[in-house]
C-alpha cells in the first residue's frame, strides 16, 4: 500500500511513525512545505495529563519527550495586577520546535525521512497513492482537492505569538487595560530559560491601538509596554509574530474517496484549552488503529476511523468553543472582582464544575491563597 502524508507537524510526523511501526509493509512518503527546523510559535502546553495518552502503547516516545517538558500544578490569573492562584490544575509544556525535532528523531530511527521544502499544490496528481492524509494544518491544501464540507470561521479577537526570557512559575493569564482598551497574555515557560507569551486583544482595542500600521518591532515594543509588570524588565522575542484571527475550522466530512483529514486540517480547537497538539496525535493513533483493523479495505478503515473518533473530538470541541467564546468577551468579564473573574475563567469551558473544583483546587475554593 502506498501512503502519502502531507504536512510534517505533530499529526503527520506521528502518523508516519505509527504506520512504520504498525504497518511495516506500507510505503510511507511524507512531504512538508517548510525547511526542517522552521516553525511558528514558541511553546505548546498540554493540559493535565500531558503525554499520558502515549504511555501504554508507545512508552519509548513518552520516555523520550516527557523529561524535556516543563510541568507545574497551578494556574495564575492576574487581573489589574491582582494575582489569584488556582491550585491543582496541572499543565506541562515544551518548545514546539523541540517537540517536532523529537518526533522527527523517532521517525528517522524508524527509517522514514520527511521531504522538506515540498509544498503540495491543489492540482497535484495524487492518483498513485492508495491513501492520502491531509495533516497539513488549518490552511490545508488537501482540503481544497475534494469536497469535505469545510467551513472556516475566524474569531474576532486578534492574537500574536511571542516568546520571552522571563521564566514564569505557572501558566499565567494576565489581563490589562490601557487607554486603547483590553489586553490578555497567555504566558508560561516552555524551556528552563524561555517562556511563551501569546498577546491577545479584542478587535476594537486592536484598531484603537493602531496595530494595523505597526510592524513587528513596533508591535513587540507596544506589547512590552502593556505587559511591563508581567515581564519585569524582560524583553519579548518575536518569530514571525504577526497578528492573526483564530480560524475555527470544521469539516462536515473527514473523508473524501481515499483522502482523509487529521489534526488542524480536520478541525481547530481554540488554543486556550491546550489540546490541539494532543488531539492531532490522537487522530494519528485512531487512524492507524483503524487501518490495522481493516487491512487493505481503505474505505472501510476510513469510515470506521471517522465513526469512532468524531464523538470524542466533538466533545472536546464543545469545550474549546466555549473557552474561545469566553475570550471573545473577556473585556466584559474584566469588570468582575479578581476572584470572581478567576471563577469565571476556570469554569469557561464547562469542563470544571464547582464540585470538581472543590476536589482539585481546595486552596482556591477556600479562598486561602498561599
| Contacting positions for ligand FAD (CB under 6 A) | 6-12, 31-34, 41, 44-46, 119-120, 135-137, 141, 159, 161, 198, 263-265, 271, 274-278, 280
Return the number of the residue (8 or 291) whose C-beta is nearest ligand FAD: 8
25 vs 96, beta carbon nearer ligand FAD: 96
324, 323, 317, 151: which is closest to 249 by C-alpha? 151
Q: Return the number of the residue (194 or 280) whose C-beta is nearest ligand FAD.
A: 280
In the complex with ligand FAD, which residue's Cβ is closer, 1 or 242? Answer: 242
Output 95 or 274, the one with its CB closest to ligand FAD: 274
Q: Residue 41 or 95: which CB sits closer to ligand FAD?
A: 41
CB of 51 to ligand FAD, least distance (A): 11
Please tell me the distance from the alpha carbon of residue 200 to that of residue 187, in angstroms, as a whole number: 11
Q: Which of these, 154, 210, 158, lies nearest to 180 by C-alpha position?
A: 210
Nearest to 138 by CA among 245, 273, 278: 245
For ligand FAD, the closer of residues 238 and 338 by Cβ is: 238
Considering the complex, what minimum distance in angstroms separates the CB of residue 75 from ligand FAD?
13
Report residue 76 as a C-alpha cell. Answer: 495564575
Shortest reach from residue 188's CB to ligand FAD, in Å: 8
In the complex, the smallest distance separating the C-beta of residue 44 from ligand FAD, rounded to whole angstroms, is: 4
Residue 185 makes CB contacts below 8 A (sequence gap 6+) with 172, 173, 174, 176, 197, 198, 199, 200, 223, 227, 230
Alpha helix (H) residue ranges in 86-202: 96-109
Whether 8 contacts 104, CB under 8 Å: yes
At closest approach, how far in Å is the CB of 92 from ligand FAD?
Answer: 10
Supply 284's cell numbers.
494519528
- Residue 66 CB, nearest approach to ligand FAD (Å): 15
User: Minimum distance between the CB of residue 273 and ligand FAD, rounded to whole angstroms?
Assistant: 8
Using alpha carbons only, what angle is made at residue 330 by residues 367 and 170, rounded to the nearest 5 degrees?
50
100 Cβ contact partners less than 8 Å away, ≥ 6 residues apart? 8, 9, 10, 13, 39
CA dihedral 247, 271, 156, 152 (to 10 degrees): 20
Q: State the minimum distance, in angstroms, from the CB of residue 335 to ligand FAD.
A: 26
Contact 263, 279 (CB under 8 A): yes
What are the percentages of helix, strand and coil residues in the chain, rounded to 5? 40, 25, 35
Minimum Å distance from CB 126 to ligand FAD? Answer: 12
**How far is residue 268's CA from residue 152's CA, in Å, rounded to a whole number?**
9
What letter would DSSP give residue 278?
A: H
Task: Closer to ligand FAD by CB, 75 or 370: give it.
Answer: 75
Cβ proximity to ligand FAD, 36 vs 338, nearer residue:
36
Amino acid at each position: 500500500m502506498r501512503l502519502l502524508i502531507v504536512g510534517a507537524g505533530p499529526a503527520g510526523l506521528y502518523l508516519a511513525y505509527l504506520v512504520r511501526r504498525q504497518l511495516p509493509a506500507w510505503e510511507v512518503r511524507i512531504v512538508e512545505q517548510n525547511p526542517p527546523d522552521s516553525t511558528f510559535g514558541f511553546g505548546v502546553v498540554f493540559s493535565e495529563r500531558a503525554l499520558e495518552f502515549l504511555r501504554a502503547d508507545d512508552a519509548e516516545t513518552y520516555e523520550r519527550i516527557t523529561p524535556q517538558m516543563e510541568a507545574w500544578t497551578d494556574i495564575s490569573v492576574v487581573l489589574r495586577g491582582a494575582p489569584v492562584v488556582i491550585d491543582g490544575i496541572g499543565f506541562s509544556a515544551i518548545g514546539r520546535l523541540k517537540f517536532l525535532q523529537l518526533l522527527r528523531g523517532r521517525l528517522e530511527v524508524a527509517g522514514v525521512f520527511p521531504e522538506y521544502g515540498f509544498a503540495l499544490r491543489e492540482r497535484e496528481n495524487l492518483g498513485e497513492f492508495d491513501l492520502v492524509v491531509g495533516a497539513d494544518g488549518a490552511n490545508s491544501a488537501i482540503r481544497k482537492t475534494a469536497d469535505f464540507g469545510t467551513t472556516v470561521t475566524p474569531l474576532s479577537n486578534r492574537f500574536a505569538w511571542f516568546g520571552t526570557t522571563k521564566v514564569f512559575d505557572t501558566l499565567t493569564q494576565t489581563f490589562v487595560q490601557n487607554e486603547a482598551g483590553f489586553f490578555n497574555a497567555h504566558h508560561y515557560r516552555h524551556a528552563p530559560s524561555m517562556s511563551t507569551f501569546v498577546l491577545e486583544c479584542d478587535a476594537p482595542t486592536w484598531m484603537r491601538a493602531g496595530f494595523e500600521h505597526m510592524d513587528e518591532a513596533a508591535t513587540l515594543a507596544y506589547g512590552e509596554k502593556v505587559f511591563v509588570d508581567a515581564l519585569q524588565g524582560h524583553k519579548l522575542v518575536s518569530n514571525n509574530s504577526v497578528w492573526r484571527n483564530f480560524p475555527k475550522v470544521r469539516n462536515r466530512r473527514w473523508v473524501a474517496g481515499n483522502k482523509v483529514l487529521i489534526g488542524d486540517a480536520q478541525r481547530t480547537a481554540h488554543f486556550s484549552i491546550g489540546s490541539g497538539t494532543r488531539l492531532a496525535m490522537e487522530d494519528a493513533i485512531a487512524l492507524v488503529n483503524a487501518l490495522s483493523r481493516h487491512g487493505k479495505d481503505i474505505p472501510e478503515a476510513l469510515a470506521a476511523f471517522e465513526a469512532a473518533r468524531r464523538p470524542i473530538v466533538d466533545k472536546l470541541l464543545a469545550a474549546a468553543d466555549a473557552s474561545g467564546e469566553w475570550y471573545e468577551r473577556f473585556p466584559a468579564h474584566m469588570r468582575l472582582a479578581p476572584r470572581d473573574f478567576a471563577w469565571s475563567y476556570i469554569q469557561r469551558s464547562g469542563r470544571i464544575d464547582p464540585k470538581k473544583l472543590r476536589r482539585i483546587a481546595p486552596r482556591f475554593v477556600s479562598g486561602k491563597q498561599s
